[in-house]
């Protein structure tokens, strides 16, 4: 929903009713990830997408019906062998879509959630997508320090359920995760949806992940561009002021003149498991102090440019600095996948490909070389926190 939050907030501010269709579950080769959203206002204007085209028409109609009826609905779309022309996913995947009508002022949790998302404030939007009658669509917006909205309907145990949902949502927000959780009406975590349980979809909206590019060289400019394309907040850092300039890196979010290791030390509060570091200087006086620190931090990816010889020399120096085999094994060097890259742009593609493969659990083999799943659901599930993993059984 984050990519259409600005438009939703504009509709909301004008008092216009609308419905939001959100992908809340996928399996197989579904085209969009959980959290992808399509919204339709009372006048029929649409923004966003849930499937890249496969089921947009059907979801659009569901949104129109929800605006008219005021009733939320959970719908499943999949491929039908019996009727290949039926509405469904020709890719063979399964898509669960939750359609929720929104009337400005009627739901404090959704009202606050949309405002926080549009404002860029980290928030987890927790919605009940399956459960007892009367609870469907109940929404709470959870921040690091508080909550907006409440589960004002349901059984006497709703207080315990609300506390548990808020705690689970806050944990997922802290990890930057989106997914489903199943809770009993008394708030206890459950393995699967059934009588006496509710299924909640929690969307975490956090600042863009960071890409730190060390070394203001020509290859860095191309890496910056592709990093922005992938959705990263990109910083270029170099100790040489003649090279580290905004004129040379106009697409970077930040250009910093500082020694790389000293800058990294100053950023410890702003990096997390989604952060990627691309070390492009291939100069030991910059690289070794930087990598000595980076390989001991809980970041998502650390890659360093250089020849095989440069890598061996750098590795020896890092061993002398006290790094263990396990810490050295985290270093991707030479950086990037073997694409036969020559130009800065080709090299940037190889670096980006390695980052995506590392994040998603890809094999780095051509898709045409195998017949297994295109999307690595198992690898992605392994990265989910406990709360998110429980929902896969729902």
**Boundaries of every domain in the chain:** 2-205, 210-360
Residue closest to 213 by CA, chosen among 252, 241, 270: 252
For tokens 């009658």, the residue is 133
CATH architecture label of 210-360? 3-Layer(aba) Sandwich (3.40)
CA distance 51 to 33: 9
Q: Return the pLDDT at 153.
A: 52
For tokens 């990519």, the residue is 3
Please check whether residue 22 is in contact with residue 37, taking contact to mean a CB–CB distance below 8 angstroms: yes
Residue closest to 164 by CA, chosen among 192, 147, 189: 189
CA distance 59 to 85: 16
Q: List C-alpha distances in Å: 49 to 40, 60, 100, 197.
A: 11, 10, 15, 30
Name the stretches of the chain with pLDDT < 70.
Answer: 28-31, 79-92, 152-158, 373-394
Residue closest to 113 by CA, chosen among 103, 126, 101: 126
Q: List C-alpha distances in Å: 353 to 90, 226, 272, 279, 336.
A: 27, 10, 20, 16, 7
Predicted TM-score of the model (pTM): 0.65
Q: Return the pLDDT at 390.
A: 32
């Amino acid at each position: 929903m984050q990519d259409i939050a600005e438009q939703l907030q504009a509709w909301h501010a004008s008092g216009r009713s609308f419905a939001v269709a959100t992908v809340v579950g996928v399996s197989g080769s579904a085209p969009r990830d959980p959290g992808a959203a399509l919204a339709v206002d009372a006048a029929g204007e649409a923004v966003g997408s849930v499937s890249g085209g496969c089921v947009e028409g059907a979801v659009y109609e569901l949104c129109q019906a929800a605006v008219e009826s005021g009733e939320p609905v959970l719908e499943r779309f999949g491929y039908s062998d019996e009727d290949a022309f039926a509405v469904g996913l020709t890719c063979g995947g399964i898509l669960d879509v939750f359609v929720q009508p929104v009337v400005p002022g009627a739901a404090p949790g959704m009202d606050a959630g949309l405002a926080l998302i549009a404002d860029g404030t980290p928030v987890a939007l927790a919605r009940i997508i399956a459960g007892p009658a009367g609870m469907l669509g109940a929404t709470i917006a959870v921040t690091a320090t508080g909550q907006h909205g409440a589960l004002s309907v349901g059984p006497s145990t709703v207080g315990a359920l609300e506390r548990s949902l808020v705690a689970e949502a806050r944990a997922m927000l802290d990890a930057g995760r989106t997914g489903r959780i199943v809770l009993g009406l008394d708030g206890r975590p459950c393995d699967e949806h059934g009588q006496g349980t509710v299924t909640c979809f929690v969307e975490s909206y956090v600042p863009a992940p960071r890409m730190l590019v060390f070394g203001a060289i020509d290859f860095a400019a191309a890496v910056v561009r592709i990093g922005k394309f992938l959705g990263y907040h990109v910083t270029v850092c170099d100790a040489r002021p003649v090279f580290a300039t905004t004129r040379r890196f106009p697409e970077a979010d930040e250009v910093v003149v500082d020694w790389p290791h000293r800058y990294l030390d100053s950023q410890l509060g702003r990096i997390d498991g989604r952060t990627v570091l691309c070390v492009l200087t291939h100069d030991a006086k910059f690289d070794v102090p930087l990598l000595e620190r980076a390989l001991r931090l809980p970041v998502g990816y650390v890659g360093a440019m250089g020849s095989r010889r440069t890598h061996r020399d750098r590795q020896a120096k890092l061993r002398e600095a006290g790094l263990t085999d396990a810490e050295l094994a985290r270093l991707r060097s030479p950086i990037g996948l073997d694409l036969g890259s020559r130009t800065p742009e080709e090299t940037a593609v190889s670096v980006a490909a390695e980052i995506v493969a590392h994040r998603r659990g890809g094999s780095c083999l051509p898709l045409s070389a195998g017949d297994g799943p295109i999307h690595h659901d198992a690898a992605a599930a392994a990265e989910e926190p406990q709360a998110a993993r429980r929902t896969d059984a729902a």
